Structure 1
Amino acid sequence: MRYLPHSDAERAEMLATIGIASEDALFSAVPRAAYNTGAIDLPAHSPEFLVEAHMRALSGKNRAAGDGPFFVGAGAYRHHVPATVDHLIQRSEWLTAYTPYQPEISQGTLQMLFEFQTQVAKLTGMDVANASLYDGSTGTAEAVLMARRLTRKKKLVLSGGLHPHYRDVVKAYLKNDPDLVCLPASPQGQGDILDHIDDQTAAIVIQTPDFYGHLRDLQKAADMAHAKGALLIVVVTEVVSLGLLEAPGTFGADIVVAEGQSIGNALNFGGPYVGLMATRKEFVRQMPGRLCGETVDAEGKRGFVLTLSTREQHIRREKATSNICTNSGLCALAFTIHMSLLGEAGLTRLARLNHARAIALADALAKVPGVEVLNQTFFNEFTIRVGKPAAGVIEALAQRNVLAGVPVSRLEPGKPELENLIVLAATELTTDADIAALANGLKEVLA
């Protein structure tokens, strides 16, 4: 659709002002073959109530996570979110005050982000955290770019246990840079990532628990990376695990990236989610996004300020460390509210319950003929090998109203060695009846 002044004089004045001879020149960059010369082939309009009925019929075909046994994880987890969270984030003072472009008058938002940063720093065992990013995958890409700026080196090594989506986002950010080394998928071990560290390495990226559920040795990785002047980037897709596992910062991690969806944020058909990032204090000026701080005003009263803002949307422009232009503020608020409700003891109890449910699931599946549990260590997610292609097994179980996890072949297509693998997750919402339904379903499908 074109919008131009109505009268010939107005049109001529506009064209002269912008320095072109005709309005067709406004669209000179569009190839003629792309021009639409006829009517658009769309169905005729319908009354609003018929459209609503049609949309309800379509939504009725969806299978929600709470409609039956559910073991899907792989970076997005079903946890209980207290009703308090949704109630509070919908209050108008939060819902409409999305981002503090005039931070001095956004004290509530700034304080919330300050509390969020404090929670993330404590969870990860790091010195400082930013006021959130888009999600865990883009946060990982921002972390490797940050490592290059800090070390002034180019080589980056991604573990074979890194979530395939995270790996692909990093590759997209770096445009398949030849200095990016992506190790093969490694469902039974960390792989040879430590053998790839040399004097040209900017950073190594290790996920724990990894995509296949294994817990990883961060101390050895940190020691070897630091010996070569490289940084250790740790990725966590299941943030609830930090309620039970030792924080990555205690093992010498330099940058920690996590997906915060599990706390305060429902599955939401894949988003929006919230990316967590934390680092050491000396690296803070190369951290993307923004940082809120605590201060006092001229009268000595406690206040909050936007301490650092290194993104292009603010004053840095082309010198920005990142072009991230949102901080998923409402999702960060949901995270902070839920974390505040849990408290440290509550998060630990939640993590222990998740682990216990996963142990019960693993024990039950290990007794099913044709099922092999691959993990010796896990938190609330692990990998099994079945005697048939996993995608078909998952589909057959879905017909029995059991969503039995993620076939690895869905995320790593064309790799026969991964074709029979399934990644499953159990959370505090997984019941004994759910586990029994999955075990019995597998017995039938694999018989």
Structure 2
Amino acid sequence: MAKPIFQRPKGTADLLADQTALWQHVESTARLLFGDYNFSETRTPIFENFDVFSRSAGDTSDVVTKEMYDFHDKGDRHIALRPEGTAGIVRAYVENKLYGPEFDKPYKTFYIGPMFRYERPQAGRFRQFHQIGAEAFGSMSPALDVEIIAMVVDFFKTLGLKKIKVVINTLGDQSSRDAYRQALIDYLKPHVNELSSDSQTRLEQNPLRVLDSKDPRDQVFVADAPSILDYLSENSTKHWTQVQAILRALNIEFEIDATMVRGLDYYNDTIFEIMTVDDTLKGAATIAGGGRYSGLVSEFGGPETPGIGFGIGMERLLSLLKAQNLTLVPEKQLDFYVVNIGEDTDVVAMQIVQAIRSFGYVAERDYLGRSAKAQFKSADRHHSKFVVTIGDEELANQVASLKNMNTGQQQTVNLSDLYTDLPTLIESKGDK
């Protein structure tokens, strides 16, 4: 059997009408809730100069070394499809001088959109995937760290997700990281030949990334590795302590995982992951992650500016909503179906359906020249609340039949009234 000529690219998915309703529900919930926290939406290009991502993610990250979709365009510019949302937001923040005195501090923004990574497609992972994320620039306050975490928790609870778990760690400031980096090298070097090839490469370049390895050979040594918490500077210790205190004050339960480092190189101080724990999921599934960073804004040519943010994988989130039977969204239902009988009614049927829509109702009509019986079947299939019928006789008298499908009440209405006063007509009890 011959394969179809045209198929979607490997690692992508078509989101059809029966799926997009849930996507729109999740996205609109995010927009509404994030707005409550005074975050505004930013939309950046899907592709950027390659350096935007290589400089922000770090040369040793998997994103840069293995997963980037990059190419040279017709002007021989090195371009990459965005693999994550933060770098583009930072570039836009700097390029548009959003750090200026006329803008509020912290500057709060969020994004929703597709990302691209060339990785082996598997359950819940795609080469084109989607993220919801947010960033806040211009404040080092531990309270802002907690606000970001609280906003994500609030979002998931609003969607109805159960058994949410917050896991936090700190990577400390630069001096903390330098001290810890050396301690980690000293600990791992005697075992270098027993590490995975990836971790052997990372050991000198960025040893913290070894802690993030899922390779069983590395996990043996990660379990007994030194803890970053033992190498924090005074400032980082104070920040870390205050984050925990505010989380407790807001009754947000959390766990500390000193081996968590996140996947990108630009994080420092507070980092976090949010999981949902459910028996049906056979363990914990991470649905959001993020943290605080410094140096990224200045790396893009702006003033030294602290930032904090998070990212949520939409595909993973939606699969978890389905696993917890939280996919119910209001069924799309027609308010009106216009049945037109006879060729001469085609024009007026179009006028009627457009007039109905002008009042804000959802309306549909037949475009296939079908019989009245077939049109009524369509109205029933769409659970239309009202049916407007017009035939040659009604057209001659400039009237139409208006039927309430829930009550069975029916009335004859003037077309002029239908065009100008429809809400009043549908409140009428109909003909006796």
Q: TM-score, normalised by structure 1?
A: 0.22
Q: TM-score, normalised by structure 2?
A: 0.23
Greater relative contact order (CA < 8 Å, ≥ 6 in sequence)? 1
Q: Decide which structure has greater strand share.
A: 2
Q: Which has the larger radius of gyration?
A: 2
